[in-house]
C-alpha cells in the first residue's frame, strides 16, 4: 500500500519530464532574451559613438558615476537575470571580505575599447566586484587621433593616470587583453605597489627589451598586414616615413579575432573598433625584476586563437614564466565575447588566490 502511494506511473514520469523540459526551455529563452537586450543596447551605443566621438572614458559611460553599470534601457533586474543565467560565482561573505582588492581594471587590446568588456562588467558587478574599463588613447571614446600616438607612454596614459590617482594604500587587479598586455607590463614597471595581481589574457607578456610587435610578427606575417604594399597601413606623416597606424578591414577582424564569436558580437566590433596606432607596438619595453618582476602575474590562454596561436602563447609562458597558467577551450582571441562565463570564473578564481 505504501509503495503504491509513492510510486509513479509511466505516464506520470513522462508528465514530470515534460514539465521539467518546459521549465528548462523557458529558462533558456529568458537567458537568450536578456542577453539579446544587452547586445541591442551595447550595439546601439556603439553605433551612436561611431557617428559622434565623445570625450572621456568609456568606463564612465558603462559604469556611471555611481560605479554601477549604466547601459541605457537595461534595468538592474535584467542585468541580474542575465548574470544569473551566465552562472556567475557568488563568493561567500567571509571570502569576499578577505580579498586584497575588489577593483578589477580591464584594459582592452589593439583596436578595441572599454566597450568590449560589457559582458565581463555585468558579470563582475553582479558578483560584487568593482570593474573599471578604460579607453586607452585613440581607442573607444577617447578622441586622440591614432596617427598622433607615437609611444607606449602616450597610448597607456589613461591607465597610468588612473593608477597615479589611486590612494597609496589602495591596490587593483589589472587584466590586459592582447596588446593591452604591453600596457599593463608598462604600468607594472611604474606602479608595482598599486597592483595586486596582473592577468595577461591572450596578451603580449613580454621580456625586457622586447616589442609587442615581436609577438605578433610571426603569426601575422603570412597575412601581409604589415607589408609595404598593404592597403591597411596608415601614413599620417606622409608616405616617405614609416606608417603610423593600421586599419583592419571587417573580413580581417572576423577571421582573425572572432572565429568563435557570435554574429552580434562581430557586428558590435564592426562599428566600434578603431585604427591601431603602430608606435606603441613597435616600442621596446624596459622592464626590471625589482618592479615588473615583483608583481604576481597570471596568463590565460585561448586555445582556438588565430591572432596569437596556442604555440605562441606557450612560447611566451616559457620565456617569461607567470605564477600560474589557465586555459579556455573553444575560445577565439576574444574570450570576453566567445567564452564570457569561462573567463569570468577564472577571473574570480584569480582574485581569491592568497
> What pLDDT, in 10s, does the model give residues 225-248?
555 556 788 898 888 888 899 898
How many Cα atoms are found within 13 Å in the side-chain-facing hemisphere of 43?
13
Residue-wise pLDDT tens digits, 149-164: 999 999 999 999 999 9
Q: Which residues contact 15 (CB under 8 A, 6 or more apart)?
A: none
CA distance 188 to 198: 8
How many Cα atoms are found within 13 Å in the side-chain-facing hemisphere of 63?
27
Which residues, given as ranges, of the chain have pLDDT below 50? 1-6, 13, 16, 49-88
Residue 128 in 3-state DSSP?
coil
Residue-wise pLDDT tens digits, 26-60: 666 665 665 666 655 565 555 554 444 333 333 43
Residue 152 in 3-state DSSP?
helix
What is the SS3 string spanning 25-92?
A: HHHHHHHHHHHHHHHHHHHHHHHHHHHCCCCCCHHHHHHCCCCCCCCCCCCHHHHHHHHHHCCCCCCC
Cell of 165: 590617482
Q: Residue 253's pLDDT is what?
A: 87
Cβ atoms of residues 281 and 182 within 8 Å:
yes
In eight-state DSSP terms, residue 293 is: G
What residues act catalytically? Answer: 178, 305, 333
CA distance 242 to 213: 15
pTM for the predicted model, two decimal places: 0.78
CA distance 84 to 127: 10
CATH 3.30.70.141 matches 34-220+248-352: no
Question: Going by DSSP bridges, is the β-strand pair 276-277/245-246 parallel, antiparallel, or unpaired?
Answer: antiparallel
Amino acid at each position: 500500500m505504501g509503495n503504491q502511494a509513492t510510486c509513479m506511473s509511466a505516464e506520470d514520469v513522462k508528465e514530470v519530464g515534460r514539465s521539467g523540459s518546459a521549465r528548462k526551455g523557458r529558462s533558456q529563452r529568458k537567458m537568450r532574451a536578456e542577453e539579446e537586450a544587452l547586445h541591442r543596447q551595447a550595439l546601439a551605443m556603439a553605433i551612436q559613438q561611431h557617428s559622434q566621438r565623445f570625450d572621456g572614458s568609456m568606463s564612465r559611460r558603462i559604469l556611471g558615476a555611481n560605479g554601477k553599470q549604466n547601459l541605457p534601457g537595461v534595468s538592474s533586474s535584467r542585468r541580474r537575470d542575465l548574470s544569473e543565467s551566465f552562472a556567475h560565482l557568488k563568493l561567500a561573505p567571509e571570502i569576499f571580505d578577505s580579498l586584497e582588492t575588489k577593483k578589477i581594471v580591464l584594459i582592452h587590446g589593439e583596436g578595441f575599447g572599454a566597450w568590449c568588456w560589457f559582458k565581463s562588467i555585468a558579470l563582475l558587478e553582479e558578483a560584487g566586484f568593482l570593474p573599471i574599463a578604460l579607453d586607452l588613447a585613440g581607442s573607444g571614446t577617447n578622441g586622440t587621433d591614432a596617427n598622433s600616438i607615437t609611444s607606449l607612454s602616450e597610448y597607456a596614459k589613461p591607465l597610468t593616470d588612473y593608477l597615479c590617482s589611486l590612494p597609496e594604500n589602495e591596490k587593483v587587479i589589472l587584466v590586459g587583453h592582447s596588446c593591452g598586455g604591453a600596457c599593463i607590463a608598462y604600468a607594472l614597471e611604474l606602479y608595482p605597489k598599486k597592483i595586486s595581481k596582473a592577468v595577461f589574457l591572450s596578451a603580449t607578456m613580454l621580456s625586457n627589451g622586447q616589442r609587442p610587435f615581436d609577438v605578433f610578427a610571426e603569426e601575422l606575417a603570412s597575412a601581409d598586414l604589415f607589408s609595404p604594399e598593404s592597403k591597411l597601413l596608415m601614413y599620417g606623416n606622409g608616405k616617405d616615413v614609416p606608417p603610423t597606424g593600421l586599419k583592419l578591414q571587417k573580413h580581417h577582424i572576423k577571421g582573425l579575432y572572432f572565429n568563435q564569436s557570435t554574429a552580434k558580437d562581430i557586428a558590435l566590433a564592426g562599428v566600434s573598433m578603431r585604427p591601431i596606432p603602430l608606435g606603441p607596438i613597435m616600442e621596446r619595453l624596459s622592464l626590471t625584476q625589482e618592479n615588473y618582476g615583483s608583481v604576481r602575474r597570471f596568463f590565460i590562454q585561448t586555445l582556438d586563437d588565430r591572432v596569437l596561436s596556442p604555440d605562441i602563447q606557450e612560447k611566451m609562458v616559457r620565456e617569461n614564466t607567470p605564477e600560474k597558467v589557465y586555459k579556455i577551450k573553444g575560445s577565439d582571441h576574444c574570450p570576453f565575447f566567445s567564452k564570457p562565463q569561462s573567463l569570468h570564473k577564472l577571473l574570480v578564481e584569480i582574485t581569491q588566490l592568497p
